[in-house]
Chain A
Amino acid sequence: MDFTPMADTALLEYIRKDDAGAFRELFNRYWERLYQFASRRLKSESDAKDIIQELFIKLWLRRTELQIDTTVEIYLNSIVHYEVLSYISRAIKDKQRKKLVAQTILPDFTQLLDSLQLEELQATVEREVNKLPEKMQQVYRLSREENLSVTEIAETLHVSEQTVRNQLNTAINKLRSGLKEALLLAIFIGSAR
């Protein structure tokens, strides 16, 4: 039977009835993207192979009990997500593989965390700056965001240099105390490093 034009759900019906051809077609449709996902996340083609094999083996062995309420694609994605994560968890618990995970997979997480934290930090600073009185905000932004000198700011705003200096000092002090509180909340995984 030619399964190629068949919809995923129809394939599943055949698979439930032990049809190997339908299963092969399902495999053909999905193995590559699942494999690509796993090998990119795990940085290992052989680990990815293991995962894909196991995933499809389980799928076949459990074919009669499968309950898929979403699309097959979403279903397979959530399985591969689960498998990849539990693979990492098991690898970390394995003394010999732990080091490799630290070298290959961990950096991705760290990098992601860094960029998330930087974003978070910038957002927090922005929120705090917005809380400053208008004049003070203006001085602060000209200084930090436009990189103007005190003299330049004084000229731009037609105020004395001393006023600029005072405003800046107060702004920084206010931000410092505001951020201290905000930062404690922002760092979401305890001591991140």
Chain B
Amino acid sequence: MNIRQLENIIDRYLAGIATETEKDFIQQWLYQKDVPTGNLGKEKRNTLAAELWLQISDQAGIYKNRKIKSYPTPVFSLYNRFFRYVAAAFIILTGTTIIYLLASRNRKPAVTYSSIVSAAGQQRLYILPDSSRVYLFPNSSLQVPDNYGKKGREILLKGRGFFEVRQDATRPFYVHAGSLHTRVLGTSFEVNVADSNHATVIVRTGKVGIQYNDRDLAILTPDKRLQYDALQLNAKIDDVDAGLLCEWWKGELAFQQTPLPDAIRAVSDWYNIPIHIENKQWLSETVTIRFKDQTITEVMNLLSKTIGFSYRIQQQGIVIY
């Protein structure tokens, strides 16, 4: 079989004029049992879903006032009418009675993204086109679609960021971070995704809706913190001083009943020094403490006194034991 013959069969099939054997052949191909390759994997699935949804909601204008004005109304040219007929014939042939109308094929260029990265040891402020502000914690990154704000407001976050979102009831603001999706209309809040399994959201003002893995997790109000552990499927909401915790971008690093591993990671990113917790007994500790303009040695001394751990400074970084 050559490419020409394949083209012929497919076209005849789509046009509904294939012979029984040809139909059978195409359907065998369509319905063949696939070697189970398993799921996509959590990480990939979530990124892909977010990416697809972003494109779909953008190009279909889903969040744009419900009325699609910007999208060209399909012109039913001869070409289109032909394909509508073809589609209908195709569907009838396959044994279902479905009328599937095709939209015009004018494909818009794919959305491209700008990446904003903050290096370890450096925080960064980024102002979005709608003048919403994003403060990136050291060692974090942001992806902003180039058409941000045109149809919707969605961005992708890795790491930790504090957001001051400009009020716009018609265009919800979405932060996608791995499996965690945060939706707001206009507020300020922080999202912190340690890895694919741990996430924290703190709300400073307004209301924030949170989804994890496409399930609604919580709606947070000001001074509430959600800590989510995907491994334990455990969501914990507690009261915090959001003003304090979210003001690291003013140079003050604060922790309030924060799990020690989270605090240590923040310190590590902040000072750009690898810190390893060797003694597992410290992993379950929490810490409440504030730092401002202190050196890493001062910070480690304070931490070790508060928690009671010892640490040593090595060539590769700091080890807590």
Contacts and interface: CB of A to CB of B under 8 A. Distances in A.
Genuine A/B complex: yes
Given A69-B96, A79-B100, A188 B22 contact: yes
B32 interface: yes
Contact of B96 (A24, A75, A86): A75
Interface in B32-46: 32, 34, 37, 39-40, 45
B238 interface: no
A113 B98 contact: no
A23 to B, nearest CB: 7
Nearest to A84: B30
B289 interface: no
The prevalent SS among residues of A at the interface is helix
A155 interface: no
Max chain A C-beta neighbours (<10 A), residue from B32, B37, B71, B100: B100
Given A109-B1, A116-B28, A27 B99 contact: no
A116 B29 CA distance: 11
B52 A31 contact: yes
Given A75-B96, A78-B91, A82-B87, A65 B101 contact: yes
A41 B66 CA distance: 35
Interface string B41-76: 000010011011101110110110010100100000
Given A62-B103, A92-B6, A4 B215 contact: yes
Nearest to B38: A36
A75 B56 contact: no
A78 B215 CA distance: 28
Max chain B C-beta neighbours (<10 A), residue from A35, A41, A58, A67: A58
Contacts of B66: 18
Contact of B3 (A41, A62, A92): A92
A70 interface: yes
Interface of A: 2, 4, 18, 20, 23-24, 27-28, 31-32, 35-36, 40-41, 49, 52-54, 56-58, 60-62, 65, 67-70, 74-75, 78-79, 81-82, 84-86, 88-89, 92-93, 98, 101-102, 105-106, 108-110, 112-113, 116, 188-190, 192-193
Given A20-B62, A61-B60, A188-B21, 8 more contacts: A24-B53, A27-B49, A36-B37, A56-B60, A89-B11, A106-B1, A106-B6, A109-B6
15 contacts: A32-B40, A32-B49, A36-B34, A49-B51, A53-B52, A53-B55, A53-B56, A57-B59, A60-B60, A74-B96, A98-B3, A106-B2, A112-B29, A113-B1, A192-B1
